[in-house]
Chains A and B, each alone.
Chain A
Amino acid sequence: MKTSLKWAMMLLIAVALAACSSKSDDKNATSVVGGGATGAGVGTNPDFDDSMDARMAKILGIEKNTIYFDFDRDTIKPEYMSILQANADYLKKHPNARILIAGNADPRGSREYNIGLGQRRADVVRQRLVTMGVNANQMRTVSYGSEKPAVSGNDDFAYSQDRRDDITYDNAG
Chain B
Amino acid sequence: MKKYSIWILITTLMMCLSSSALAAMDIQITRGVVRAIPIAIVPFDTNNPNGPNDISRIVANDLSHSGQFQVMPQSRLPQQPHDADAVSADLWKTLGLDDLVIGNAVPAGNGQTTVNMTLLDLFHSNQSTPTVLMRQSYTVADSKMRALAHHISDIIYEKLTGEKGVFSTRLAYVKVTPMPNNPRHKLYALMVSDVDGHNAKPLLTSTQPIMSPDWSPDGKQIVYVSFETKLPQIFTSDVATGQRRLISSFAGINGAPSFSPDGRSLAVALSMGKTNPNIYTIDLGSGNLNQLTNDASINTEPSWAPDGQSIIFTSDRGGAPQIYSIDLASKQTQRMTYLGSYNASATYLAGSPTKISLLHRDDRGFNVAIYDLQSGTMQILTQGGYLESPSPAPNGRMIVYSTNVGGRRMLGMVSSNGQVNIRLPEVSGDAQAPAWSPY
B271 within 8 Å of A (CB atoms) = yes
Kindly specify which of B11-19, B30-38, B76-84 makes contact with the partner chain. Answer: B11-19
A120 within 8 Å of B (CB atoms) = yes
Q: Which residues between 17 and 41 of chain A lie within 8 Å of chain B, taking CB atoms?
A: 18-19, 21-23, 25-26, 28-41
Q: How many residue pairs, one in A and one in B, have C-beta atoms under 8 Å apart?
A: 200
Contacts of B8 in A (CB 8 A): 36-37
- Which residue in A39, A45, A119 is a CB contact (below 8 Å) of B253? A119
**Docked-complex contact A41 and B249, CB < 8 angstroms:** yes
- B384 CB to closest chain A CB (Å) equals 11
**Docked-complex contact B242 and A147, CB < 8 angstroms:** no
Contacts of A51 in B (CB 8 A): none
Contacts of B243 in A (CB 8 A): 34, 38
A80 within 8 Å of B (CB atoms) = no
Given the interface contacts A11-B13, A15-B16, A109-B342, does A33 sit within 8 Å of B7 by beta carbon? Answer: no
Kindly specify which of B40-48, B98-106, B107-115, B199-207 makes contact with the partner chain. Answer: B199-207
Contacts of B269 in A (CB 8 A): 112, 115-116
**Docked-complex contact A109 and B19, CB < 8 angstroms:** no
**Docked-complex contact B19 and A22, CB < 8 angstroms:** yes
Contacts of B203 in A (CB 8 A): 32-33, 35
Contacts of B15 in A (CB 8 A): 26, 29-30, 33
A161 to B298, CA, bound (A): 23
- B266 CB to closest chain A CB (Å) equals 14
Given the interface contacts A4-B2, A112-B256, does A35 sit within 8 Å of B237 by beta carbon? Answer: yes
Contacts of B10 in A (CB 8 A): 11
**Docked-complex contact B9 and A15, CB < 8 angstroms:** yes
B325 within 8 Å of A (CB atoms) = no
A73 within 8 Å of B (CB atoms) = no
B244 within 8 Å of A (CB atoms) = yes
Chain B 186-227, CB within 8 Å of chain A: the 1/0 string? 100010100000000111110001011000000000000001
- B69 CB to closest chain A CB (Å) equals 30
Nearest B-chain residue to A100, judged by Cβ:
B230
Give the A interface residue count (CB, 8 A).
Answer: 58
Interface residues on B, range: 35 or more
A23 to B240, CA, bound (A): 21
**Docked-complex contact B228 and A40, CB < 8 angstroms:** yes
**Docked-complex contact A29 and B9, CB < 8 angstroms:** no
**Docked-complex contact B342 and A42, CB < 8 angstroms:** no
**Docked-complex contact B231 and A35, CB < 8 angstroms:** no
Contacts of B238 in A (CB 8 A): 34
B167 within 8 Å of A (CB atoms) = no
Given the interface contacts A32-B240, A42-B233, does A14 sit within 8 Å of B249 by beta carbon? Answer: no
Contacts of A15 in B (CB 8 A): 9, 12-13, 16
A78 within 8 Å of B (CB atoms) = no
**Docked-complex contact A45 and B230, CB < 8 angstroms:** yes
Contacts of A50 in B (CB 8 A): 184
A131 within 8 Å of B (CB atoms) = no
Contacts of A165 in B (CB 8 A): none
**Docked-complex contact A142 and B232, CB < 8 angstroms:** yes
**Docked-complex contact A43 and B229, CB < 8 angstroms:** yes
- Which residue in B11, B230, B256, B388 is a CB contact (below 8 Å) of A142? B230
A8 within 8 Å of B (CB atoms) = yes
A36 to B19, CA, bound (A): 18
**Docked-complex contact A112 and B211, CB < 8 angstroms:** yes
**Residue contacts A-B, CB under 8 angstroms, 29 given:** A8-B6, A10-B180, A11-B10, A26-B19, A29-B15, A29-B202, A31-B241, A32-B242, A33-B204, A33-B242, A34-B241, A35-B11, A35-B204, A37-B4, A37-B7, A42-B233, A45-B230, A108-B386, A109-B366, A110-B344, A110-B345, A111-B433, A113-B298, A119-B253, A120-B275, A120-B298, A123-B275, A143-B232, A154-B386
* B→A interface (CB under 8 Å): 2, 4-13, 15-20, 23, 143, 180-181, 184, 186, 190, 192, 201-205, 209, 211-212, 227-233, 235, 237-246, 249, 252-253, 255-256, 269, 271, 275-277, 298, 300-301, 314, 316, 321, 342, 344-345, 359, 361, 365-366, 386, 388-389, 404, 407, 432-433
* A→B interface (CB under 8 Å): 4, 7-8, 10-12, 14-15, 18-19, 21-23, 25-26, 28-43, 45, 48, 50, 100, 108-113, 115-117, 119-120, 123, 140-145, 147-148, 152-154
